[in-house]
Chains A and B, each alone.
Chain A
Amino acid sequence: MLRAPQSRTEVGPVSAGVAGAIGALYPFLDTRPTDVDAVLAEVARSTAAKAAEIVALRESLVAEHGQRLVDCARRCAAAFRAGGTLYAFGNGGSSTDAQDVAQLFLHPPTAGRPVPAISLTHDVALITALSNDVGFEVVFARQVAAFGRAGDIAVGLSTSGGSKNVLHAFEEAARRGMLTIGLAGYDGGRMAECEFVDHLFVVPSASVHRVQEAQTTIYHVLWELTQQALTDEL
């Protein structure tokens, strides 16, 4: 995951010192309760602003990705019906999303049909072996090469859209005839130019955090729609 600059909370310095001789002798004897309250009030306002931000961002995705999510879910359902397995991958926070995607499809927390899904991010022995012997850019592609068959599904997440190991995995997955699904942030980065991604979902935000939050919603909704498609309700 790219560590990129993003908007941050601005809270100005709040004066703290107690004036006069006492304050000079005991600089820590400040007006702390008031200061803390003032800062916390500002901080609380920024939390409310972020809540509004993510609600608006999700709303913008409905029109942009609504029909694509349905199309993608129908293809996923068809792949699972035909015996396909889903493989998920990503780096950093996105690696935890990959694991979440896998456990959601494999072991749904609510009523749902379990389908085969595996995350390629949690086998530390494999990942360190591949990184040490070949390079970090192949950690997912080599696993896709080992496990993937035509008709399987590859789900790759990258907030920047530029993670090389994710892009390599898509290329390998496409070569093997797998259905490829990409989630990216910002403008989609290199993933948006990648010919090997069948279904691309870009979250147009410059904040890594808001991108991750919206990506979580996208894969949750994709799972929900896939479940509906599996029971012919979509």
Chain B
Amino acid sequence: MESSVPLAVGRAFARRVAPAQALAGDAPQIARACYEMAVRFHRGGKLIVFGNGGPATDAQHVVVEFVHPVIVGKRALPAISLTNDAATLTGIARAEGFDEVFAAQMCLLAAPEDIALGLSVDGRCANVRRGLTTARDLGLLTVGLLGGDGGDIARDALADHVVIARSDDPCIVKEVHVTIYHILWELVHVLFEQPGLLEPEVVR
């Protein structure tokens, strides 16, 4: 229980402290992204999430958060992941190439009022890049959760909102991303419940 913490464990946990703390510095930016997401949901938009490898599982996790809220009584908001239909993914990859797997689904499934959320641990995923640029062309609000130095997705400012987890370790980036998307979900609901903040439109 006490003093004898194995060195390797102490080191592993210590590496996670600074990237998690750095998130506080991104708070205003996250709040602004949440506000714009809430406006999109209010207009009847849905959330479309995508990523590769570990972030593919995050995309599905984000969907669970929004569609099946953790707090009883919160309304379900529409969200879909572009990572879980293996038939569609492999079909598009074969016909158009792997770089197009998210962009092609975006063209087929997105509406202008929707939100696109792309995850990449280093900001260097060609298909996430294509997904975000296609979404932007279609009029969606675009959000990128990235890591490392943000890669070309951050450099080329391909999303309206970019939050970068400040670590080069994909595992640590993922851990920060999980906190970020939990906060995104929670704050969207907080803003959703503030009458007067969103446009006076009928909620569909």
Contacts and interface: CB of A to CB of B under 8 A. Distances in A.
Chains A and B come from one and the same complex? yes
Interface of A: 3-6, 8-9, 11, 13-14, 16-17, 27-28, 30, 32, 35-36, 39-41, 43-48, 50-52, 54-55, 58-59, 61-67, 69-70, 92-93, 95-97, 99-100, 103-104, 107, 109-110, 122, 208-209, 212-213, 216-217, 220-221, 223-225, 228, 233-234
Given A47-B27, A51-B23, A58-B13, A16 B8 contact: no
A30 B196 contact: yes
Nearest to B199: A28
Contacts of A16: 195-197
A46 B183 CA distance: 9
A70 B6 contact: yes
Query: Is the contact region of chain B dominated by helix, strand, or loop, or is it mixed?
Result: helix
A5 B72 contact: yes
A61 B127 CA distance: 37
Contacts of B28: 40-41, 44
B100 interface: no
A67 B8 CA distance: 10
A50 B183 contact: yes
Contact of A224 (B31, B171, B187): B171
Contact of B191 (A43, A50, A66, A122): A43
A45 B28 CA distance: 8
A6 B72 CA distance: 10
A100 B57 contact: yes
Interface in B157-204: 169-172, 174-175, 178-179, 182-183, 186-187, 190-191, 194-197, 199-200
25 contacts: A3-B70, A5-B72, A35-B197, A36-B197, A39-B197, A40-B31, A43-B190, A44-B28, A46-B190, A51-B20, A52-B21, A58-B13, A65-B9, A70-B9, A95-B60, A96-B60, A96-B64, A99-B56, A103-B57, A109-B54, A213-B182, A220-B174, A220-B175, A224-B171, A233-B8
Question: Taking each of B32, B57, B169, B190, which has the highest tally of chain A beta carbons within 10 Å of its own beta carbon?
Answer: B57
Contact of B5 (A66, A96, A107, A208): A66
Contacts of A66: 4-6, 9-10
Contacts, number: 188
A86 B156 CA distance: 40
Contacts of B95: none
Nearest to A122: B84
A61 B65 CA distance: 25
B24 interface: yes
Contacts of B169: 110
A96 B61 contact: yes
B124 interface: no
A47 B30 contact: yes
A54 B24 CA distance: 11
* Top 7 A-B pairs, shortest CB-CB distance: A16-B196, A44-B27, A47-B27, A48-B24, A209-B182, A96-B61, A220-B171
Contact of A217 (B4, B16, B195, B199): B16
A201 B132 CA distance: 38
A93 B187 contact: no
B172 to A, nearest CB: 8
Contacts of B58: 96, 100
B108 interface: no
Interface string B40-67: 0000000000000110111011001100
A5 B8 contact: no
B197 A32 contact: yes
Contacts of B54: 100, 103-104, 109
Contact of B179 (A35, A40, A41, A54): A54
A22 B182 CA distance: 40
Given A9-B187, A58-B20, A103-B54, A44 B31 contact: yes
